[in-house]
Amino acid sequence: NSCNGILHIVKVRMSSNAAASMSAWQINRYGGIEELTLSTTTRAATIKNPNELLVRVHASSINPIDIRMMGGYGKALINVLRQQKGVTQSGTEFPLILGRDFSGTVVETGRNVTKFKVGDEVWGAIGAERPGTHAKYTVVSQSEISKKPLNISHIEAASMPYVAATSWAALCTVGELTERKAVGKRVLIFGGSGGIGTFSIQLLSSWGMDVTATCSTDAIDLVRSLGANSVVDYKVKPIWNELKHQKRFDYILDTLGGEYTTNGVKLLSPWQNSKLITLVTPLLKNSDTLGLIPGMLKSAVTAGIDSIKGLKSGGSVRWAFFLPNGAAMEKVKQMVEAEQIKPVVQETIPFSKVPDGFRTVSNGHLRGKIVIDNL
Ligand code: NDP
């Protein structure tokens, strides 16, 4: 035992030394892709809380939220979280490292970490207040991660955590959907070809749902191959005529907002506890432009109006947000190992070329995910 103890201290010291300073892509002020700078002397990510772990990041992905956060989106609310959790002590969020998800190896554990040990291969998505994963090391909480699936590479694994945790938050936490309730129900997904769409189609189809997804012409084969029973091409003609003649839906996952939320409500099965869950909400933008409290109040009013729209149609409209969720990552891990869900990687970017990946994500039209090889 004392030998093990000494070994552990040596391991912790070695890994701490390894992370004294690290390489990271960071921004020093809000702006466009030109603000991204590769620093080799960024202060090392360090464990501050006994539930945290230090992870060597092997791969991470780029999400639309990274592009928005680079421009300052959400800063009012996220800065409050940063202060509450002691992430920013110097009064500024800069230098700011972007990147919300990762696949990697545990190199150090806080004293209350019970589920993981040094050397474990793990994956997960981390809270918006944390310094990000576009770096050689990142600090995560044990509640945000699970072991990585054994049957896929780190690059493939890194394509999933942020979209998996967001889809889980939307469908299961906010939408109260479970595998048992899902069987035989009809779901419509607006935006089937991107990160959220490619993940959600696979999750819901393997839970036995009848999945309809919208996408553009060139993505139809991909979306079908992931398990969509019916695909509606939004490029050839407006989708509403075709959709309104179909049997109504029990769940709608909306990744597009605007007219998709307003018209989507009318496609819900009336008076069946059906739900449209939207990932496009004005909460963060309102807080940025109006200030924290007025922004939240305005958002509460809009959320109320949205839920009235749902009630009038005999369903409900709910707002959803990304939430880190280690337990969900564990379930997804099992589904990946059972080959019910597979990674959809459009392109892998070397760590030295991260701005190219940001450009690709900014240009849109993604087919799955853009993944960074952090090694
Ligand atoms: P991606 O950029 O990976 O995918 C978006 C996909 O939508 C692309 O494949 C695009 O392809 C397709 N698309 C665009 N317009 C339409 C349309 N009119 N009809 C059907 N498909 C369309 O984004 P994600 O999947 O990662 O995220 C989607 C959105 O979800 C984000 O932009 C964000 O607004 C929201 N989100 C919100 C979160 C939250 O916490 N609230 C968290 C994560 C995401 P093409 O243009 O070629 O058709």
Residue 218 CA, closest ligand 1 atom number: 47
What's the CA-to-centroid distance between 257 and ligand 1, angstroms? Answer: 10
C-alpha closest to that of 165 among 318, 59, 63:
63
Query: Residue 205 pLDDT > 70, yes or no?
Result: yes
pLDDT digits (tens, 9 = 90+) for 181-198: 999 999 999 999 999 999
Q: How far is the CA of 272 from the centre of ligand 1 (A)?
A: 27
Task: Give which of 88, 20, 28, 86 is closest to 52, Cα–Cα.
Answer: 86
Query: Does 22 have pLDDT greater than 60?
Result: yes
Whether residue 214 has its Cβ less than 6 Å from ligand 1: yes
Query: Helix, strand or coil for residue 205?
Result: helix
Pocket of ligand 1 contains residue 279 by CB under 6 Å: yes
| Residue spans of alpha helices (H) in the chain | 2-18, 64-70, 75-84, 154-158, 161-168, 179-182, 195-206, 220-225, 239-244, 259-264, 283-290, 292-312, 326-337, 354-363
> pLDDT value at position 19?
54
Q: Output the residue whose Cα is nearest ligand 1's atom 9.
A: 194
Task: Tell me: pLDDT of 6 over 60.
Answer: no
Distance CA 160, CA 202 (A): 12
Q: Kindly indicate the confidence band of residue 89, based on its pLDDT and cuts at 50, 70 and 90.
A: low
For residue 277, pLDDT beyond 70: yes
What is the whole-number distance in angstroms between the Cα of residue 366 and the centre of ligand 1? Answer: 8
Residue 216: CB within 6 Å of ligand 1? Answer: yes
- pLDDT attached to residue 302: 82
Can you tell me which atom of ligand 1 is nearest the CA of 193?
9
Q: What is the pLDDT of residue 9?
A: 41
What is the ipTM, given to two decimal places? 0.99
Q: Band the pLDDT of 2: cuts 50, 70, 90.
A: very low
Given this model, what pLDDT does residue 88 score?
A: 77
169 pLDDT higher than 80: yes
User: Is there a contact between 358 and 70 (Cβ–Cβ < 8 Å)?
Assistant: yes
Q: What is the pLDDT of residues 210-248, one digit of tens each?
A: 999 999 999 999 999 999 999 999 999 899 999 999 999
Q: What is the pLDDT of residue 288?
A: 84
Q: What is the mean pLDDT of residues 125-138?
A: 97
Question: Which pTM does this prediction carry?
Answer: 0.94
Q: How high is the mean pLDDT of the chain?
A: 92
